[in-house]
Structure 1
Amino acid sequence: MTGTEGGRREAPAPPSFHTMWADLLPIGRHADTGGYRRYAWTAADADCRAWFQAQAESRGLTYELDRNGNQWAWYGDPEAGDAVVTGSHLDSVPDGGAFDGPLGVVSSFAALDTLRARGAAPDRPLAIVNFGDEEGARFGLACVGSRLAAGQLTAEQAHALRDADGVTLAQAMERAGYDPEAIGPDPERLARIGAFVELHVEQGRALDRTGHAVGVASAIWPHGRWRFDFRGEANHAGTTRIEDRRDPMLTYAATVLAAREKAARAGALATFGKVGVEPNGVNAIASLVRGWLDSRAADEHTLATVVGEIERAAAGQAARDGVEVSVTRESFTPVVEFEHGLRDKLAALLGTDGAPVPVLPTGAGHDAGILSASVPTAMLFVRNPTGVSHSPAESAAEDDCVAGVTALADVLEGLACR
């Protein structure tokens, strides 16, 4: 809405939460599955990035693209230091849901609008960030943008990442118009940040069971990804006797079952969610089955124990099947205990009648967890009534999303208006 008063033209109102959400919703959505395929450095990713830049510019914010492809929108002087930063990511897992990542980015712009509407006068700079390639759906490593910035992934390691078609991360960045030679640690930028708060839809039902719409994260479980290569002998499915077979598919299947058993016994999580088969023919015994294990636990000792037991189960079954197996750890993130002072301050800020909001752990990794080694970080969760995530069924009620925006605005005001 625009108008004039005394010859002065009013600036148009920024897009509302609902308008932003509606504009972002169609980007990268697959017509058949209803899920999202917003992979790093693709056309859908470019559209998401254009959306972010447009939101920054429509609010008169200072827009920046850092050396690693992460996007920043600044309210206040970017160079002043001690900034309060919020945001999340816009990419997705294959056929993921609408809320994982984007809810945090949309809510960040809406929370800043709320602060400005309140007439709040921050004495610390505020920034909103969209970290690139958080899910790792294309190149197999999660949180690439934040890992690079924090120095937890070297430029050499990043350049070696490849997608399923053999395209390197560097090639993908270059094709998208970015300079892959510029990537690397960004300590100067991180030094400007006094606190980072990420809002995210909860990926489970722990918060829903408390009856609260918004909660605070206490910690992120340690987690990692391991690649299991099972090598046997390709042969004809219709002519090779059972006793003559060296079938890696059998070993893989037994390992999947073993992973479920070992994890359940330890109170941990273990999932084989991705598999590749060669030669991948209906009437052919496979020569290679490659499976990726995602495993998480409440502590690093339990995680190491569970993964070790799965590896031993795979080796034992491989010996019985005449198959070779090798295991490669592709990524690992240690336990993250969010900065207690910041965490407790958020819980108190959002509490009512002297009672803080729920504080609960999560098994999901986030950019906030990566940054926690460099800057004080915290997370807010918005209730997910189904607990479903990484799926088109992922959801959050409209009232809860609005409550999340209000909570994030309260947090930003409490931190930035001293």
Structure 2
Amino acid sequence: MTSFDSLWTSILDVGQHHSTGGYRRFAWGDADLTLREWFTGEAAARGMDVEEDRNGNLWAWWLPSGWVGEPTGAFVTGSHLDSVPDGGAFDGPLGVVSAFAAVDILRDRGVEPTIPVAVTAFSDEEGARFGVACVGSQLTTGALAPERALALRDGDGITLAEAMTKAGRTPTHIGADPALADRVGVYVELHVEQGRALDLVDRPLAVASSIWPHGRWEFTFDGEANHAGATRLVDRRDPMLAFASSVHSARAAACAHESVATFGKVHVLPNGANAIPSRIKAWLDARAADEATLSTLVAAIEAEARAHCSNDRIELEVLAESITPIVEFPAEPRERLRRALRHLGDIPVLPTAAGHDAGILSAKVPTAMLFVRNPTGVSHSPDEFAEREDCIIGARALADVMAEWVSAEPADRNVDG
């Protein structure tokens, strides 16, 4: 059994729901805390010092022999350990497992790093519990204000501050990391592909070129609660009608703009089988190839929703919950990845419509991404899948990239003597 195999199998049952087979690994919940303990244990088994930063992100350090002081200019790799509701096994954990496996591969090869190496697990990437994605990396880069983050609430009304406190953390310390740019020389994130582009060209790996701009918008449709049986159709102010029409219109608008738009999360009040709803709260996820198209798309969806609401005497409020601009991964790290992997043949360079911590960190540090083939293209689902052989190719490729980076002589080596 390879190092990858043993790491992978050791977390397969954590947070897996017995009936759906999907994973429910939500930020600061039991499964998340178990995976944090797993991360710390795997780091300790490799003699790596673990740091949990002020925002809950985990860092496991492999320092050069004789290194003195704080790490600087490090090669950092990893991903996240949380999931969407009933998510797949690969989204996030594949990158963390592959990072530890890559460290093992380099040590087996006898490689001694000349710069610090870190394996990371960023906190609350999916935003499944508190509604905002990439909380850990957004806080660290200063993209998310601490006061806003602490006030975020889950479906049970528990704030992020309360959840962190219950988990034994000190939420008042969260915020931007002023040393991030000094600490991280490059961040390389390996991730399962969320789509079928690699399967269609029959390649196991790709390098990311960019991340589409994307965001989440909260739509609140306000009508009037009433009796489902006794209320005449003409007397109803049913927000479900406007919402349902808006879902259909969003799909049409996405097709027209060669983009994607999804209403995937819905809260219905009072949510009774024999009651006309009073309110529908729904979250739109929209993504496009460029920012202008995304803005036009969302404006079109909102305009259609308002027209539907007007027809049914419904009030509508639309709030932008989070908007992430386009990320163009820098050419130098991307080409350096391709050079390190040239022995594998031509490596495709592909854009992605999925958001990642690498995209958030790119505002502050050089970043790059590797994708591992997903033969079905299914993600955010229990059916998400990658072949073992492709995963191992990915871990070895990450090791090759790591070796190329950490074996080069750094410009300013902070070692004793």
TM range (shorter): over 0.9
1:137 and 2:128 are equivalent in the alignment:
yes
Task: Report the 3-state secondary structure (helix = DSSP H, G, I; strand = E; otherwise coil) of the residue aligned with 1:212.
Answer: coil
Once the two structures are TM-superposed, the CA of residue 160 in structure 1 deviates from its matched residue by 1.2
Count of residue correspondences: 404
Instruction: Look up the match of 2:319.
Output: 328
**Matched AA of 1:20:** L
Partner of 1:400: 390
Q: Does 1:116 align with 2:110?
A: no
Partner Cα distance (2:269, 2:257) in 1: 33
TM-score (norm 1): 0.95
Match of 1:22 in 2: 9
Distance 2:77 2:71 in 1: 17
User: Is 1:79 paired with 2:65?
Assistant: no
Name the counterpart of 1:4.
Answer: none
In structure 2, list runs of 5 or more residues that go unmatched. Answer: 409-417
Counterparts of 1:326 and 1:42, CA distance in 2: 31
Could you say which residue in structure 2 is the equivalent of 1:50? 37
**What is the aligned counterpart of 2:80 among 89, 112, 117?**
89
- State the SS of the aligned residue for 1:309: helix
Q: Contact 2:180–2:364 at 8 Å: present in 1 too?
A: no
Judge conservation of contact 1:221–1:335 (CA < 8 Å) in 2: yes
Q: Given the two structures, how large is their TM-score scaled by the length of structure 2?
A: 0.95
Listed as ranges, the matches of 1:7-406 within 5 Å are: 16-76=3-63, 77=67, 79-352=70-343, 356-406=346-396
Shift of the alpha carbon at 1:415? 1.2
Deviation for aligned residue 1:356: 3.5
* Alignment-mate amino acid for residue 407 of structure 2: C
**8 Å contact kept, 2:218–2:283:** yes
Offset, 1:190: 3.8
C-alpha separation between the residues in 2 aligned to 1:180 and 1:16?
35
Unaligned runs of 5+ in 1: 1-13
**What corresponds to 2:411 in structure 1?**
none
Instruction: Quote the offset at 1:120 in angstroms.
Output: 1.2
Question: What secondary structure sits across from 1:207 in the alignment?
Answer: helix
Deviation digits for residues 141-187 of structure 1 (CA, Å, limit 9, x no counterpart) = 00000000001111111111000111000000000110001100012
* Matched residue SS, 2:322: strand
Partner of 1:5: none
Alignment check: 8 A CA contact 1:315 1:325 kept:
yes
The amino acid across from 2:397 in the alignment is A
Does the 8 Å CA contact 1:63/1:74 hold for their aligned counterparts?
yes
For residue 379 of structure 1, report the CA deviation from its aligned partner: 0.2
Supply the distance in 2 between the matched residues of 1:352 and 1:61 (Cα, whole angstroms).
30
Distance 1:48 1:158 in 2: 22
C-alpha contact (below 8 Å) 2:76/2:120 kept by paired residues: yes
Structure 1 residue matching 2:318: 3-state secondary structure: strand
C-alpha separation between the residues in 1 aligned to 2:234 and 2:228? 13
1:281-327 C-alpha deviation (Å, 9 max, x unpaired): 11111100111000000000010001000000000110110000110
SS of residue paired to 1:165: coil
User: Does structure 1 conserve the Cα–Cα contact (< 8 Å) formed by 2:330 and 2:367?
Assistant: yes
The CA RMSD over aligned residues, in Å, is 1.2
